[in-house]
Amino acid sequence: MNAVQKVLTTRVCLQAQSPWRRVAVEFMNSPTAVVGLLVLLAIVLVAVLAPWIVVQNPYDLMQLNVLDARLAPGSANMDSGYTYWLGTDGQGRDLVSAILYGLRISLWVGIGSALIAALIGTLLGLVSAYAGGWVDALLMRLVDLLLSFPVILMALMILAWLGKGVGNVMLTLVLLEWAYYARTARGQALTESRREYVDAARGQGIGPWRIVVGHILPNCLPPLIVIGALQIARAITLEATLSFLGLGVPVTEPSLGLLIANGFQYMLSNEYWISLFPGLALLITIVAINLVGDRLRDVLNPRLQR
Amino acid sequence: MKPLVRSLLTSALILATGSAAAQTLRIGYADPVSSLDPQLNNYAGDRSVALHAFESLVSRRDNKTLPGLAKSWKVIDDTTWEFALRDDVKWQDGTPLTADDFVFSFERARNVPGSVASYAGSTRTVESVKAKDDHTLIIKTRTPNANLLPDVDSIYIVSRHAGADASSADYNSGKAMIGVGPYRFVSYVPGDRTIFERNDSYWGAKPTWDKVDYRFIANAANRTAALLAGDVDVIDKVSPTDVERLRNTPGVNVYAYQGLRALIIQPSFREGPNEFIRDNAGQPLPENPLRDVRVRKALSLAINRQAIDERIMQGTVTEANQWMPANTFGYNPDVKNIAYDPKQAKELLAQAGFPDGFQLTVHVPGDRYPQAPEAMQAVAQFWSRIGVKVQLEVLPWAVYAGKANKNELAVSVIAWGNGTGEAAYALTNILTTVDSSKGQGASNWGRYSNPLVDKALVDSTAEFDEARRRKILQDSVKVVSDDVGIIPLFHYQNIWAARKGLKVEPLVSDRTAATMVTELP
């Protein structure tokens, strides 16, 4: 059996399975990606279950005690005696609790904004591709405009106008990110709409809306999923950046970025834990998401398949 | 890595050549400078940089008025002051200083084009400034003003011959930067640094430093790092979080002095509902509970000031029970420290009709007062414990100041500088009833108003007898304290750090200048 034949048989075998099953199998072929996925699942799990596993609600001022501020990792709580395994921040917040709650905000903002942006961006991209003409021109110039601005600068401008808060941060991220999905969806849809199956559908008298959603969209999904995975990581980083700059969440409800920012001033006085541990949590989350996203890009991109 | 290596090499070089250039003083300071024009804006940074090249009629040290460019003065009647000027003072270009320059300076200070924080307040009582002869100056005031000396101390003297047609830009370019002070202007890079050299013709004691490199380093951690790296010799406004570290660093001295600046909470006295004060169901309360003295007292008693001092400010502040720190003019020693008593606070709230508390949104500027957001988060904790559920909003100064000024907030925070070192300054600006026609209550953001306090300001301004004036001011402290018109938190210390061998002594409040730094024997 020569090499060409071997490739062909593998292809045939894979095509016999459902395409998503093939993706799953290929994904699992990379140990690093599997590790990334497991870590990510673990992070999501502890973040979702945070209120039931932490010793303290770090956002409830009643449960904080400023007398416990800046305690080193392993110190005991003054009132009820539980241990601050990762120490406390400048307000006496247990860092384990604060990090888990911070992860909740990060994931919620990251995934939430990525999903909404994906929905809006994809829809506008498809409309742009299918409608063409001035609608296409208008939408794509708008996308060009958005993509040409530095992201942080745009985010600062939008947030300065909207004001702080988790909702506004999400809105800002959606406003900034839909353009990526729109550009990709449009490109993909333009290619797909010239395929025979679209002509065939049109020939059968199927309405344009159904063709777009029912026929073109499913074939545009793989690159959009890849962008989605990477955009989640980007959104989490951006939220952390904005909070670090003081434009994100309220100070009494710190996300990871704000925890890092708050600890920054203590770095020179050797109280490293306030910034370090939230930073590590952020780092691990982003790396895990990126590992998964990278692998998805490999397995979903037909051009990279051998 | 490259820039880091380079900066390390540079600092090593600077250290190595340190002895040869020992007479250059490099200062890293915190307050932004808007202009070198000493009369444009009454900002801390502008005043600090001006201290090198300019002087005023009198000088102040340790909150006392000392002779400056005026050798002596006498009060001729209630509204007329005569100043005998030094006759041996020359401008840095060699022209002799005369009374006419003072006349010009007082005229100009009232109205400098482009000013956003003018010195008009300091000249508000001044009716006319006239030269009797070349070295005698007569100042007439509209009403008797016992506080004229601290007022005129704020006005830096500029020359008529160089400054008559000069704009603020001419000061920045150096064209009009001719002063009588100990240091002479060399160059200025806005937002970065100003270079001065010794004024050899200075009338006073010979200035210590050949050259002064006065650098703006906005971020407190960066200032600390610059000192540790040997990039600068002295830094000001050391962050409380770095004090311990610097104290334990060999080769560094930390100088902390009791300051005049107080962090003060101003509850709003506005009548009717306030969107930032709500009942526990989230509905705005029909009446403002902060107007009830029992509620204000409860809020004050609920705060553990000692904990804030130790845990947040790391021992770099002193608990405040009134707006002036101890041992200043007008400080009332009979007003005692406010006890931490959450139990009594809860009782007072219950008596006022809020046994379960209410919801309160507190605003604080995030970019203005050192550690104020951190301190207010701790206050929010303490208030939550007596049932007042606090939401804390940290705003940029530009947004905050506008809202606070219009009394749109429920609780605002001010770090009042008490720059003149006596109690009437705060009376004028943050405690008397707001009345712009009288120049009163400009920063009374909570709109506190008590006729007794207003009367105390009028009486103390007209009272030339020091003992009686002190008594009037002390009585007003008691009135404000009983009213809980403001909730004082703490007084900041002014903290400098310098490389070993240098001594830093404060001159005026928290200003920083080369004249404050001397070499230890």
Sequential DSSP letters for B444-481: -TT----HHHHHHHHHHHH---HHHHHHHHHHHHHHHH
Share of chain B above pLDDT 90, in %: 75
CA–CA gap between residue A200 and residue B143 (Å, rounded): 96
Which residues from chain A sit within 8 angstroms of residue B377, using beta carbons?
91, 251-252
B138 is a domain residue: yes
Section B416-444 average pLDDT:
87
- Please indicate, yes or no, if residue B254 is contained in any of the structural domains: no
Q: Indicate the burial class of B409 (C-beta count within 10 angstroms; 0-12, 13-18, 19 or more).
A: buried
B320-324 mean pLDDT: 96
| The total number of structural domains that make up chain B | 2
Q: What is the pLDDT confidence band of residue B42, given thresholds at 50, 70 and 90? A: confident
- Are the beta carbons of A91 and B307 separated by less than 8 Å? no
The closest alpha carbon to A216, from A186, A175, A248, belongs to A186
State the smallest CA–CA distance between residue A286 and chain B in angstroms: 24
The answer to whether residues B194 and B313 belong to one domain is no
Give B 460-479 residues with CB within 8 A of chain A: none
Same domain, yes or no: B265 and B395 = yes
d(CA A11, CA A13): 5
CA distance A115 to A105: 15
> Does B243 map to a domain?
no
Test A268 with B224 for CB contact under 8 angstroms: yes
Among B223, B238, B241, B376, the residue to mutate for chain A (most A Cβ within 10 A): B241
Rg (CA), chain B: 24
pLDDT band at residue B115 using 50, 70 and 90 as cut-offs: confident
**Angle of CA points B121, B126, B128, to nearest 5°:** 140
Integer Cα distance of A148 and B168 in angstroms: 38
- Whether B118 and B167 map to the same domain: the answer is yes
The pLDDT value recorded for residue A77 is 86
Higher pLDDT, A77 or B433: B433
Position A54 scores a pLDDT of 92
Cβ of B380 within 8 Å of Cβ of A61? The answer is yes
In DSSP notation, A178-231 reads: HHHHHHHHHHHHHHHHTSHHHHHHHHTT--HHHIIIIIIHHHHHHHHHHHHHHH
Could you say which residues from 66 to 125 on chain A have a Cβ atom under 8 Å away from some Cβ of chain B? 66-67, 69-70, 90-92
CATH number at residue B148: 3.40.190.10
Give the count of alpha carbons within 13 A of B481, CB side only. Answer: 20
Same domain for B158 and B52? yes
- Is B7 part of a structural domain of the chain? no
Provide the pLDDT for residue A82.
87
**Dihedral, CA atoms, A93, A98, A101, A107, nearest 10 degrees?**
150
Task: Please judge whether A246 and B221 are an interchain contact, meaning their C-beta atoms are less than 8 angstroms apart.
Answer: no
The DSSP element (H or E) to which B71 belongs, if any, is: strand B70-77
pLDDT tens-digit map of B348-380: 999 999 999 999 999 999 878 888 999 999 999
Q: Which two tokens stand for residue B46?
A: 């502008």
Asked if B304 and B420 sit in the same domain, the reply is yes
Q: Are residues B91 and B136 in the same domain?
A: yes
Residues B149 and B111 in one domain: yes
What local confidence, expressed as pLDDT, does residue A175 receive? Answer: 92
Sorting pLDDT into bands at 50, 70 and 90, what band is B20? very low
Q: Which two tokens stand for residue A179?
A: 């353009």
Domains and CATH numbers, chain A: 101-304 (1.10.3720.10)
Asked whether residue B160 carries a pLDDT value surpassing 90, the answer given is: yes
The per-residue pLDDT for B433 is 94
* Inter-chain touch A91–B378, beta carbons under 8 Å: yes
Would you mind telling me the total number of residues written for chain A in this entry?
306
Question: Domain for residue B115, yes or no?
Answer: yes
Separation between Cα atoms, residue B265 and residue B268, nearest integer Å: 10
Residue B15: band (very low, low, confident or very high) from pLDDT cuts 50, 70, 90: very low
Residues near B276 by beta carbon (within 8 Å), at least 6 away in sequence? B360, B361, B362, B363, B409, B410, B411
Q: A40 to chain B, minimum CA–CA distance in Å?
A: 32
Please count the CA atoms within 13 angstroms of the CA of B366 that sit on its side-chain side.
Answer: 15
Which CATH number covers residue B314? Answer: 3.10.105.10
B157 lies in some domain = yes
Q: Is residue B498 part of a domain?
A: no
**What distances in angstroms separate CA B261 from CA B237, B325, B467, B468, one per listed residue?**
12, 8, 24, 25
Residue B268 has pLDDT above 70, yes or no: yes
Within 10 angstroms of residue A291's Cβ, the number of other Cβ atoms is 21
* pLDDT the model gives residue B150: 85
pLDDT at A8 (0 to 100): 52
- Please say whether the dihedral angle defined by the alpha carbons of residues B208, B209, B214 and B215, taken in this order, is positive or negative: negative
CA distance A125 to A136: 9
Which of B138, B71, B65, B132 has the alpha carbon at shortest distance from B106? B138
Distances (CA, A) of A238 to A245, A298, A301, B146, B248: 10, 25, 26, 57, 37
User: Best mutation site among B246, B311, B376 for testing chain A: the one with the most A CBs within 10 Å?
Assistant: B311
Shortest Cα–Cα distance, B291 to chain A (Å): 25
In angstroms, the separation between the Cα of residue B386 and the nearest Cα of chain A is: 9
User: Is a pLDDT exceeding 90 seen at residue B75?
Assistant: yes
Q: Are residues B477 and B512 in the same domain?
A: no
Please indicate, yes or no, whether residues B440 and B336 belong to a single structural domain of this protein.
yes
**Which pLDDT tens digit goes with each residue over B446-498?**
999 999 999 999 999 899 999 999 999 999 999 999 999 999 999 999 999 99
Do B276 and B356 belong to one domain?
A: yes
Tell me, what's the pLDDT at A302? 62
Domain that includes residue B465, residue range: 261-492
Residue B446 lies in a domain: yes
Q: How far apart are CA A131 and CA A127, in angstroms?
A: 6
Shortest distance between the Cα of A150 and any Cα of chain B, in A, equals 22
* Mean per-residue pLDDT over chain B, rounded: 91
Distance CA A206, CA A218 (A): 16
Taking contacts as CB-CB distances below 8 angstroms, the residues of chain A near B365 are none
Are B447 and B515 members of one domain? Answer: no
- Say if the Cβ atoms of B241 and A268 lie within 8 Å: yes
CA distance A62 to chain B (A): 6
Q: Say yes or no for a CB contact (<8 Å) between B378 and A66.
A: yes
**Of B481, B521, B456, B499, residue with least CA distance to B18:** B499
Is B323:B486 a contact under the CB 8 Å cutoff? yes
Regions of chain A with pLDDT less than 70: 1-17, 302-306
DSSP string, B367-378: SSSTTHHHHHHH
pLDDT at A306: 44
Residues B45/B47/B53/B59 CA torsion (nearest 10 deg) = -150
> Are B28 and B122 in the same domain?
yes
